[in-house]
Amino acid sequence: MHFGLSEEQEMIVSTVRSFVENEICPHEAEVERTGQVPHELGEEIKQKCIDLGFYACNFPQEVGGAGLSHLDFTLVERELGRGSMALTHFFGRPQNILMACNTEQRDRYLLPAVRGERMDALAMTEPDAGSDVRGMKCQAVRDNGDWVVNGSKHFISGAEHADFFIVFIATGVEDTPKGPKKRITTFLVDRGTPGFEVREGYNSVSHKGYKNCILYFDNCRLPDAQVLGEVDGGFAVMNEWLYATRLTVAAFCVGRARRCFDYALEYAAERKQFGQPIGKFQGISFQIADMITEIDAADWLTLAAAWRLDQNSPANREIASAKVYASEMLARVTDTTLQIFGGMGLMDDFPIERFWRDARVERIWDGTSEIQRHIISRDLLRPLGA
């Protein structure tokens, strides 16, 4: 077992952290204030990422990506977690399920996405289908050789900047031992397709500027050429995608927690009460100790899960463990940091209150904490017949 980073991995960490500090952090306060990322700024960040050679670094070299391993890419995501999600969105990590594109789709979607010429967004969640993905009501039915889509999706991140969408849609029902279940197919849908509309979503207290949108389909007609993968094969594609996103959430939480901890540590060393730094009081120093212990534990859980993927070892339970622990760890760290700062922690003079608000959503999206615990317990009990 070896727990150190290679020279190349150290370079990845240093490069991405420097990018966040120099290209992301200076703009965070304005994005938080306005709730917007100016188009010119987003394009500037994207171009700098392309020039750096990190755009689409989660894709193999054969299609123009950097070909990073799961572990290397997790290190990238961990460092990006230190910055505003609204801004790091333009660092450019297209959905890796675009590798399922067929030959013709590669030229229209995959390769332009990897080059940064087109941006994608993934659409799965519906008002009545969150954790219960099979409960989706957005459906596509056959009509004269095409698919006619009706329904809606919501909480779609990155949709305002997307040129096309990867959408999971119900395409029928199958009987299973556990009763009828929706068959799901993945479609590629271009912005501007007749019958398809992207509307502004809800105002969130988390991740200002990283907007969510609502997608509406009203007799939207899609040809077979827009099917990604196999018809009715969307659930398998979905599960493969969730591996990557849950690991990304865990890595993000670790990165954000480390940035938050840095503020707490510095403040505890500088802020004085009763004639000495507050860090000298056990009420604070023990909290500092607990925070770094939890952050390190979440970090190792996350990196170990990524390593298992690189070894082609089963990692479903390990990724779920990393996601649930890291997201809940971030909640504790941000709350404790705010407590250390006292009343100033709630003022927007510091980013602490922002970290605190942003942390709340991490336990919900990309699989709630309850879903992660279900995955973990199922993985342990099934071999025993339970």
**Domains detected in the chain:** 7-115 (1.10.540.10), 120-235 (2.40.110.10), 243-384 (1.20.140.10)
**pLDDT for the residue 243:** 72
Q: What percent of the chain has pLDDT over 70?
A: 99
**pLDDT for the residue 132:** 80
1 has pLDDT over 80: no
What are the E-state strand segments in the chain? 120-123, 139-143, 146-157, 164-176, 179-190, 196-200, 212-222, 227-228, 272-273, 276-277
∠ CA 64-188-161, nearest 5°, is 70
pLDDT, mean of residues 147-162:
96
Integer Cα distance of 154 and 216 in angstroms: 9
pLDDT, mean of residues 300-310:
96
pLDDT, mean of residues 7-26:
97
Name the nearest CA neighbour of 268 among 344, 346, 357: 344
CA atoms within 13 A on the CB side of 310: 16
Predicted confidence (pLDDT) per residue in 258-295, tens digit: 999 999 999 999 999 999 999 999 999 999 999 999 99
**pLDDT for the residue 180:** 85
Own/partner pairs for 340-344, CB < 8 Å, 24+ apart? 340/264, 340/267, 340/268, 340/278, 340/284, 340/287, 341/263, 341/264, 341/267
Helix (H) or strand (E) holding 208, with range, is none
Predicted confidence (pLDDT) per residue in 168-216, tens digit: 999 998 888 878 888 999 999 999 999 999 999 999 999 999 999 999 9
Predicted confidence (pLDDT) per residue in 97-130, tens digit: 999 999 999 999 999 999 999 999 999 999 988 7
**pLDDT for the residue 282:** 97
Q: How many CB atoms lie within 10 A of CB 180?
A: 9
Maximum C-alpha span of the chain: 81
**pLDDT for the residue 231:** 93
**What are 120's strand-pairing partners?**
164
Amino acid letter for position 125 = T
Predicted confidence (pLDDT) per residue in 207-258, tens digit: 999 999 999 999 999 999 999 999 998 887 777 766 788 999 999 999 999 9
**pLDDT for the residue 134:** 78
79 has pLDDT over 80: yes
367 has pLDDT over 80: yes
Q: What percent of the chain has pLDDT over 90?
A: 90
Question: Cα-atom radius of gyration of the chain, to the nearest Å?
Answer: 22
Name the nearest CA neighbour of 271 among 337, 353, 331: 337
**pLDDT for the residue 242:** 66
Dihedral sign for Cα atoms in the order 137, 142, 143, 145: positive
**pLDDT for the residue 241:** 67
Integer Cα distance of 87 and 83 in angstroms: 8
Cα torsion through 187, 188, 194, 196, rounded to 10: 70
